[in-house]
Amino acid sequence: MKRYIDMLEYMRPESSESQKAFCDRFLKPDFGKPDGFGNYVKIIGESRIVFAAHHDTVHRKGGKQIVEIAGDLARLPAGESANCLGADCTSGIWLILEMIDAEIPGIYVIHSAEEIGCQGSRGLVDSKPSWLKNVDSVMSFDRRGYDSIVTHQMGLRTCSDKFAESLSTVLGLGMIPDDTGVYTDSNEYAGVVPECTNISVGYFKQHTKDETQDLPFLMMLRDSLLNADFDNLTIARDPYEYDYEYEYEYEYEYEYGGLESVISENVCDVADILRDFGYDADRLLMELRGVRRAA
């Protein structure tokens, strides 16, 4: 785990010098130079699966931070000035590097600028790389907790239950389909790739000073990925078929509960959505003050 802890020491807001230093140290040796959008892509063997993570974090400033191991957890020590640990998405990158070291066939993509609106993945998908037409699934390693295989992002289906259930069987970790996903890079592929999901990697309280990573779970997930038979996955979703039923349920809740009610009942998820669009507390307060002045 030394490499993982070394990776966590880098605070990597998008376009920071420490993000560049991190990529030079940990990504370029395996991936070479990034594409025009800042994404790192490596293809091993023949595979129809994209394994994805992102190399930026929500740190407010770049530089180095101290990371401590407390029992089974990686976390920030008391008094550390950093605003988050950065397991989101360092854990995903570490898993991908471990898979590359083991030469597991796959299309490996470490995206840029996920934390400010998935800009890297959006640019990559819009550029239509030749390998994309042969992809059946995209798996991001960027979900909190232990048991999620995300089937819906931003309220719309991006992954079939059949795929999620088959992936759970392949991994053997007791994960279950989860329709409460927010937003990560795999969502950008959902209009052209049948199965786009996000998988729990064992971090908690992401984007906060209290963020932790369960290290034994991360290693267990690594071992499962290295031994998985991905040929047994079920591809069932049509990426061109809109999820009308789920949209109708959402509109019904909105019509009769009101937007304020939806926000109050889903505070943490709404905060995650705002963070995914590049907001932190300071930016949100500035905009709220602007709205109040205009009123």
Q: Which CATH number belongs to the domain containing residue 121 in this structure?
A: 3.40.630.10
Closest CA to 231 of 294, 278, 186, 170: 170
Looking at the structure of the chain, the number of domains it has is 2
Share of the chain above pLDDT 70, in %: 87
* 121 and 214 co-located in one domain: yes
Q: Is residue 238 part of a domain?
A: no
* 132 and 180 co-located in one domain: yes
pLDDT at 48 over 60: yes
Beta-carbon-side half-sphere exposure of residue 90 (alpha carbons within 13 Å)? 33
Q: Which of 212, 232, 252 is the last residue in one of the domains?
A: 232
Dihedral class, residue 174 (left if φ above 0, else alpha if ψ from -120 to 50, else beta)? left
171 or 265: which leads in pLDDT: 171
Q: Is residue 97 part of a domain?
A: yes
Q: Which of 204, 232, 260 is the last residue in one of the domains?
A: 232
Q: Which of 78-92, 158-172, 257-271 has the lowest mean pLDDT?
A: 257-271
- Which pTM value belongs to this model? 0.86
CB atoms under 10 Å from CB of 133, counted, come to: 9
* 140 and 253 co-located in one domain: no
* 58 and 125 co-located in one domain: yes
Q: Is residue 217 part of a domain?
A: yes
- pLDDT tens per residue across span 239-291: 998 665 555 444 444 444 556 666 766 676 787 777 766 677 776 776 676 65
**Rounded average pLDDT over 171-177:** 98
**Rounded average pLDDT over 53-81:** 97
What is the domain extent for residue 159? 2-232
* 70 and 133 co-located in one domain: yes
**54 near 111, Cβ under 8 Å?**
yes
* 227 and 251 co-located in one domain: no
**109 near 39, Cβ under 8 Å?**
yes
Closest CA to 106 of 126, 148, 135, 141: 135
Q: What is the pLDDT of residue 278?
A: 65
